[in-house]
Structure 1
Amino acid sequence: MPAALPAEAMARYVAIGDSFSEGLMDPGANGRFRGWTDRLAAKFSGIRTQAGLPETQYANLAIRGKLLAPIIEEQLPRALELEPTVVSLVGGGNDLLRPKSTPDRLAALLESGVQQCLQAGAAVILCTSSNAADGGLIEKTRGPNAILNSHIWSIARRYPNVFVIDQWGLAALRTWPAWAADRIHLTPTGHEVLSRGALNALGWEFVPDHERTLGPGEVPIPTDVPVWQAVPEGWAETEPTWQDDLAWVRRDFLPWVGRHLRGRSSGDRISAKRPELLSISAY
């Protein structure tokens, strides 16, 4: 395992990927989504300011609906132009919802992206899939996702300065309240759980932010247990009803099928929410 990511390496952070890294279902300021990457960048700034360093410069090029090849071919070159010190590269989930996609091919693409980042001098953050055994679209790809996860861990062991967020192992993300009504994207608290898991994967204990005001829809997360064990009160006991299942089919699943039959993507005509490096404050 690599040593902890030093505060100096948190200077310039660029996130690339799909809706997972764009931060869907975590509303932020100015009508934009926030998400785990924004939250992680803010934690980077907190670590750096405590060390007497300037705030983190952060860009986010992720766009919903993107497949892994466009992420590597289009987003990554732009990301490297920004001379990042750390890049989060997360993708492949949309690919595995398509019947002809294979985790082995995705792993090769992912490894090529990792190599490009390392050659540019940037540390890399990868992320496993969630352990989605209980419902929604992602449940249908649990097997291929598990194979891709194995590739991700192997890639991380082959190279220095590659870190893996163990989303599969975060207990809170095995509960229904961690996930938005579409059963694909995280809720605001789910994004916060993942950002803490990311920081832990980078070798840091969760940086306390007890003074942070909870945002819309957020609930407190326990801090008296390890990040991977922390489950908000009442989450483990919450289960969806058949009415929830029916609403999901009508509101989310059928429109998704329709878009894919027409060759459309939810990211059509969407541009990156934070295309340039800008300072982000700790919160």
Structure 2
Amino acid sequence: MSAPVRSTREGAGPHERIALDNGVLRLTAAPGLGGRVLSLRTAGGAEFLYRNPRLLDEDLQVREGVRLGPTEGPMSAWNNVGGDKTWPAPQGWDGPGEWAGPPDPVLDSGAYAARTETTADGSAVLTMTSGDDPRTGLRLSRRVTMAPEASGYRLDLGAVNTSGTPRTWALWNVTQLDGGGGPPDGSGGVYVGVRGGDAPPAVPLVTGDADPRVVDHAPGVVRVPAQDVVGKVGFPTAAGWISHVGPAGTLTQTFAAVEGRYPDHGSRAEVWLEYPLERPLEHLGGLRPVDRVVECEVLGPLTELAPGDAASLTVDVALAAHA
């Protein structure tokens, strides 16, 4: 029988770290920093997730002189520490039906309560739960389940309407990865499975300095090559999987592409790219990227939630390091 997944916990507040280790993969989360997964490292030391080296050191600790915690304001005030996190969609600044972040003092940078448990088969389960957010009316939860000797994990997301009025939101999981390139054969980038039909496979969503380039890769697969651009593209016909091929290897996320109404022109998956800029993008709230970052984003359908109602989304994550 395989050894149970090991769980360790240390620190408190923004410095708290919870690690799950099954001998194949070590996952480290930061409940006090918006319930993020900060690191995904294989036994060989390959790191898949992006983290901001100006804010966190190699040991995932807050650097001396840096203060992290609940933050709000324009995007220029966002302390993007990186990692994998969950937000509500749609994003926007035009009214209460849009999430005006990041930054966000509750769901993005607030403290999440955390608990761990071990199941009968030796799996470790980490559940992180946000506070009640007065702006969106939501409480978010992120449950990570890692099985012994698995090269991946399951992420179960939840949103509960804790307000006294109906709210309509979609769950939106954002995974930040190193955008610094990929294998020497030039195969780096993001691959998305798409379905045929009348809808376009890709739609531009956010133009920073340009729109990301999308190319056909194979029947039913499109590719966003590694490129220096700041912008986002959505995939309304995403078929349930998205893969990033980067410096460490391939990270693939699978999800149920259910029928329904989705935000961002019907996008079930999205890709955001950024690279270092000398000047802020004033039309994006003063955002000034400092690193090459790729975001692989998975969305659930827009769901009308009566008070007390809940929505859910499951994402299965698999990692394969380069040989």
The normalised TM-score by structure 2 is 0.26
Higher relative contact order (CA 8 A, sep 6+): 1
Q: Which has more strand, going by share of residues?
A: 2
Q: Which has more helix, going by share of residues?
A: 1
Q: Could you say which structure has the larger radius of gyration?
A: 2
